[in-house]
Amino acid sequence: MRREGRTTLREVAEAAGVSVATCSYVLSGRAGRTTPLPEPTRRRVEEAAQKLGYKGNTAARSLRRQRSELIALVYAPPVGPWLDRLTMQCEDIAAAHGYSVIGVPVRRLDRAAQSLRVITRGHVDGAIFAPGLSDDMELTAARRSTRALMAFSDHLDLEGVDVVRNNVRQAVADATAYLLGSGRERIAFLSHATPHDDRYAGYADALRAHGLDADPELVRIGAASREEAVVVVRDLLSSPNPPDAIVSESDRGAFAALQAAVDRGFKVPDDLAVIGTGNTLEATYSSPPLTSVGMYQLDFTEMVEALFARIDDPTRPARELSMPWVLNHRDSA
């Protein structure tokens, strides 16, 4: 909200010797008029606005237009380079539509409602929910408070919400199949909690397709925290019959596996192949760089445009876009 004493359209109008209506037409750009604006008048208005430092009042415009011209990007830090790309593409496309972009970092799921206040209170016209958020979150409140909602989610099916499918299950299956195909035989899975989600399912799918069953010994919980994961993987590697590969439900867990491998004298990828999930920024930097399942395609134009299409017409049928996750090959597997 602007400081007090801001220049108003009326003051510009007086300075230019025309009416506020004319000023509005000139300055808001979008002429809804039949005839184009006459050049001399437009110039006088623009000069007056310039001289007075006119900036416009977003609240007034929002009230009148029934649009805030703001969209939100909801995500859970830390995030990888793909979010950078998404942010920048959003900003560019939004600017072309006269919109601005805000970030809504959800730092703890148990505080999500608090973080989402800006959305539920109706400050934004639309919001994009990054992967991993919408499945755990109550979106109906957000849905009611915006004109458009777009979510990266493989399962979400909510009236009037556009979705982007990542096909995570298939991607993890592909990664596991890749390991099997390169001769790995004892592939462990490091899960977040009880392993019943898509990522585990993909792992199990691949084993099954290869005629194997998941060995309970090789499926461990611990990917959620780095410290826990190190302990778990060390234990795994100390067993008489250790795994020759690890698929982790997160990159975090995979980094821990890399560390535990060093601790236990396993060479990566020779003695132990490691694949993470998420394709985070750090995957590029770890030693060795981490092979990770995650986003690859970094062109979000279609989905962002779809969001704006829905902002323009909230009644249009919900769309289902597809941006499959892939295996990003680096040195760890």
Partner DNA sequence: TTGTATGCGTTATCAT
Partner DNA sequence: ATGATAACGCATACAA
Residues contributing to the site for DNA (CB under 7 A): 6, 8-10, 17-22, 24-25, 27-28, 30, 32-35, 37-38, 40-41, 54, 56-57, 60-61, 63-66
If one asks whether residue 304 binds a second copy (CB under 8 A), the answer comes out as: no
- Sign, CA dihedral 283-289-293-294, equals positive
Report the residue from 72, 180, 206, 207 that binds a second copy according to the rule CB under 8 A. Answer: 72
155 binds, among DNA, a second copy, none (CB under 5 to 8 A by kind): none
10 binds, among DNA, a second copy, none (CB under 5 to 8 A by kind): DNA
d(CA 19, CA 265): 80
Dig out the tokens for 272 from the structure. 């132990």
34 binds, among a second copy, DNA, none (CB under 5 to 8 A by kind): DNA
Three-state SS string over 132-162 comes to CCHHHCCCHHHHHHCCEEEEECCCCCCCCCE
Q: 221 has which bridge partners?
A: 191
Q: Which range, of 104-112, 212-220, 241-249, 320-328, touches a second copy by CB under 8 A?
A: 104-112
193 binds, among DNA, a second copy, none (CB under 5 to 8 A by kind): none
- The kind and range of the H/E element at 248 are strand 245-248
Residue 320 contacts residue 165 (beta carbons within 8 Å): yes
- Helices within the chain (DSSP H only): 9-16, 20-28, 39-52, 58-65, 81-96, 112-115, 117-120, 140-145, 168-181, 198-209, 226-238, 251-263, 282-285, 301-312
Nearest-approach distance from CB 74 to a second copy, in angstroms:
10
Pairing mode of beta strands 273-277, 291-294: parallel
37 binds, among DNA, a second copy, none (CB under 5 to 8 A by kind): DNA
Report the residue from 118, 219, 221, 321 that binds a second copy according to the rule CB under 8 A. Answer: 118
Residues that bind a second copy (CB under 8 A): 1-4, 6, 53, 55-60, 62-63, 66-70, 72, 77-79, 84, 87-88, 91-92, 95, 100-105, 107-108, 111, 114-115, 117-118, 120-125, 144-147, 226, 255, 259, 262, 281-282, 285, 287, 314
